[in-house]
Structure 1
Amino acid sequence: MPGKHLTVVVTRQLPQQVETRLKELFDVQLRDNDAPMTPDELVDAMQSADVLVPTITDQIDAKILARAGDKLKLIANYGAGVDHVDVATARQRGIHVSNTPGVMTDDTADMVMALILGVTRRMGEGIKLAQSDTWQGWTPTAMMGGRIKGRRLGILGMGRIGQAVAKRAAAFGLQVHYHNRRRLRPEVEETLDATYWESLDQMVARMDILSINCPHTPSTFHLMNARRLKLMKPNAVIVNTSRGEVIDENALTRMLCAGEIAGAGLDVFERGHLINPRLKELPNAILLPHMGSATLEGRVEMGEKVILNIKTFADGHRPPDLVVPSML
C-alpha cells in the first residue's frame, strides 16, 4: 500500500511543519479550521480514510466505530493517551491503533514542577495582585507561601512522566514517594531515591504534595474520590497534569472551599474545558488550559511519530507505537 495512495484524514489543525510533511507523503485531508469534528463529521472522515489521525478531543467509542465502514485500517492517534478510543472494539473490527508515547515526558514533568511551585508559593494570587490596582508594594508578611525543600511528594503513577517528575523533584530537595500499579525495579527505585507505597490510602495521608501522573482507565476513574481526598493533610496540595477524570472535581472543589486541602494546580479537568465555576473562583487553585505538552518542539515530535507509524503501516509492517488492549 504505497504511501501516496493512502488516504489520511486529520481531525484537528496540527503544527505547520507536520501538516506540510503529511502532504508530501500521503493523500491527506487536513482540517481547515481548529474546531473539533462533530460526531457526524468524524464518521464521514472514518468512512473516507485508510488512516485517521485524531486527537484527544475525538471520542471514538463503539457506536462511532460501528459506523466507520470497512476502509479504515489505522487510527494513528496524535497524542500518547488513548482513553478516548475504544481500542478493544477497534481491534475487533480489524483497525489498528497507534499513539505517540514518550514525546511529552519532559514537557509535562516541567509543568508539574511549575504547578507545584505555583501553588505552594501562591503565584496565581501574586500575579493577580501585581496586575491589580490594589498592590501597595512589598511588606514582610505579604503573600507568604511555603518552602518546598524537605516536603514529601507523592507521585501517583510512576511511568515515564512520573519518573521524570521524581528526578526534577530531587533537585528541589523534595522527598520522593510513589504508588504505582507495579513496583519499580530496585535499581530504578535506588536511582530515583523513591519510596514505594503499596497502599495508596497510606501514602495519600502522609504526603505534603500529591502529583497525579497516571492515565485515565476504568480503574483510575475517580481514583482520588471524596473519601481518599479527605485522607490528605489540610496543608497538602494536589497537582494534576494527567487526566481530569482521575479526581472527583466536585469533591475537590468543596474541600478547597472549606480549607480541607490547601491548594490545587490543575492542567486537566473532569469535563474537558467545562470547568466547575466554583473552582474558577478559588484563590488557592491554579488552573491551566491543558498546556502540559504545549511546546512547539513536543508537538512537532508528536507529528513525526504519527508519520512514522503511518509510513511503517503503509509499508506492511507493525507500527512501532501500536497500542493493544493489554497495555491499557
Structure 2
Amino acid sequence: MNGHKIYVTRRIPDQGLDLLRTVADVEVNPDDAPLDRATLLAKAAECDGVLGLLTDRIDAEFFDAAPRLKGYANYAVGFDNIDVAEATRRKVPVSNTPGVLTHATAECAWALLFAVARRVAETDRVMRSGAWTGWGPLQFLGSGVTGKTLGIVGAGRIGTAFALMSRGFGMKVLYTSSSNRRNAVLDKELGAELVPFETMLERADYVSIHTPLTPQTRHLFDAAAFARMKSTAYLVNTARGPVIKEDDLVQALQSGEIAGAGLDVYENEPAMAPGLAERDNAVILPHVGSATTATREDMSTLAARNLMAMLDGRRPETCLNPELFDSRA
C-alpha cells in the first residue's frame, strides 16, 4: 500500500476490487444505483484515482473538483460520458474496457434479433397469461433469418463479431463505414459489401447498430431513416441509445413502417420513449449486452489494471489519450 486512494462509483465484480486493494485504499459506492453528481465530485476531490461507469459525467467540472487525480478508468467500452479532450488538456489519462465484452455484446444482439423476428417475448407473454388456446396455422407468424440480408452499422470489434456469427445462416452482409474504409475480415470471410448508409437501409432485412455515439451518429436513425427501410425490416441496437431518435422509432413501429425492433439501450436511460413499452413488435432489454459473469469480471479486472497503471505513472492497456504517454518518451 502506497497511500493511494481510489473511489469506485458503483459496485463491480470482486475480482477488480481485489486487485485495486493490493495497491490502494478503495472505497465503493454502497448503493446499487448511479452515483449522484454532488457525491461524485466530493469523492473525486479526495482521490488519486476513480473507477466509474457510463452514468458518471467526466468533464471540466469533474476535473476541477479532483486536483489529486492521476487517472480515471471507465467500466465500459463506450466513453461518450468522458470529455477526453479536456482530460488530455489536464494531463489526466483515461481508459475504457474494449475487447473483453465483444462476443457477449454480439451474442446479445443476436438474441434480440431472433427474439423480435420470431416474436419470442410476445408469445412468452401469451403463454404466461394462460390465453393460448392451442396451435393454429396463422398464429404468431414472424420472419426467418436464413438467406436474408444483414446490415451492420459500425463494423468495429463488436460489429465484426456479430457479422461473423451470421455465417451459419447464409446471409448476405452489408456494412457501412463513416471513413469509407473496407473491413478486410468481413470482406474475406463473408464476401461482405461496403455500401452507403442509405443503400444499406433500403436493402437490409435486419439492421444491427454497433457504432459509437458521436455528434455524427446521434439520431442517425430518425423518421427519414425509417422511411427508407423495408416495411418487413427489423432494427437491433446494442450500441448507444441516442443513435436512435426514439420517438421516431415508436412512430415507425406503430405505423408498420418497419416490422420490429430489438433494443438493449435507450435515448434517455433508464426511461423509454412514451409508447415503446406497449409495442408488441419491440423487444426491450435493460442494457444487458455485456451481462455474462465472465465478461463483467473481465471488465472489472481490465478497468482495475488500467487504473493501477495510471496511479503508477504508466500507460494503461486501453488508454483513450495515449499521447500523454507518448510525449513522455
The TM-score with structure 2 as length reference comes to: 0.94
Change (3 A) 1:121 1:325: farther
Aligned to 2:327: none
Opposite residue 16 of structure 1, the aligned amino acid is D
Q: Secondary structure at the match of 1:36?
A: coil
For 2:27, which of 14, 26, 29 is the aligned residue? 29
Cα deviation for residue 132 of structure 1 reads 0.9
Q: Which of 86, 97, 109 does residue 94 from structure 2 map onto?
A: 97
1:113 matched to which residue of 2?
Answer: 110
Q: CA deviation at 1:309?
A: 1.1
Secondary structure of the residue aligned to 1:24 is coil
Report the identity percentage.
39
Q: Which residue of 1 aligns with 2:275?
A: 278
Whole-angstrom distance in 1 between the partners of 2:268 and 2:85: 23
Q: Could you tell me which residue of structure 1 aligns to residue 231 of structure 2?
A: 234
Is the CA contact 1:163–1:192 (under 8 Å) kept in the aligned structure 2? Answer: no
Indicate the RMSD between aligned Cα atoms, in angstroms: 1.6
Distance of 2:262 and 2:186 partners within structure 1: 28
Match of 1:41 among 36, 39, 42: 39
Q: Give the number of aligned pairs.
A: 322
Consecutive unaligned residues of structure 1, counting only runs of 5 or more, are: none
SS in 2 for 1:53: strand
* 3-state secondary structure, aligned to 2:22: helix
**AA paired with 1:7?**
K
Cα displacement (A) at 1:186 = 4.0
Kindly indicate whether the alpha-carbon contact (under 8 Å) linking 2:208 and 2:235 is maintained by their aligned counterparts in 1: yes
Question: How high is the TM-score relative to the length of structure 1?
Answer: 0.94
CA–CA separation in structure 1 for the residues paired with 2:113 and 2:322: 33
Superposed CA deviations along residues 30-80 of structure 1, whole A, max 9, x for unmatched, are: 121112111111111211111110101112233333x32311120111111
> Which residue of the other structure, out of 8, 16, 22, is the alignment partner of 2:6?
8
Whether 2:65 is the aligned partner of 1:68: answer yes
Name 1:313's counterpart in structure 2: 310
SS in 1 for 2:283: strand
Three-state SS of the structure 1 residue aligned to 2:166 is helix
Separation (CA, whole Å) in 2 of partners of 1:139 and 1:60: 55
| Higher mean C-alpha deviation, range 37-46 or range 137-146 | 137-146
Structure-2 change in CA distance of 1:126 and 1:247 (3 Å): same
1:262 aligned onto 2:241? no
The whole-number CA distance in structure 1 between the counterparts of 2:49 and 2:206 is 42
The whole-number CA distance in structure 2 between the counterparts of 1:26 and 1:176 is: 48
Encode CA deviations 1:133-155: one digit per residue, 9 max, x unaligned: 21112222211211110110100
Q: From the superposition, tell whether residues 75 and 146 of structure 1 become closer, same or farther in structure 2 (CA, over 3 Å).
A: same
The offset of 1:181, in angstroms, is: 2.3
Q: 1:305 and 1:264, CA in 2 relative to 1: closer, same or farther beyond 3 A? A: same
CA contact (8 A) 1:170 1:176 kept: no
Q: How does 1:1-328 map to 2 (within 5 A)?
A: 4-65=2-63, 67-182=64-179, 183-186=181-184, 188-197=186-195, 199-324=196-321
Q: Relative to structure 2, which stretch is displaced further, 26-35 or 291-300?
A: 26-35
The unaligned stretches of length 5 or more in structure 2 are 324-329
Which one is further off, 120-129 or 170-179?
A: 170-179
Could you tell me how far apart the structure 1 residues matched to 2:197 and 2:41 are?
Answer: 41
Q: Kindly tell me: are residues 188 and 132 of structure 1, through their superposed partners in 2, closer, same or farther at Cα, counting changes over 3 Å?
A: closer
Q: In 2, distance between residues paired with 1:35 and 1:296?
A: 19
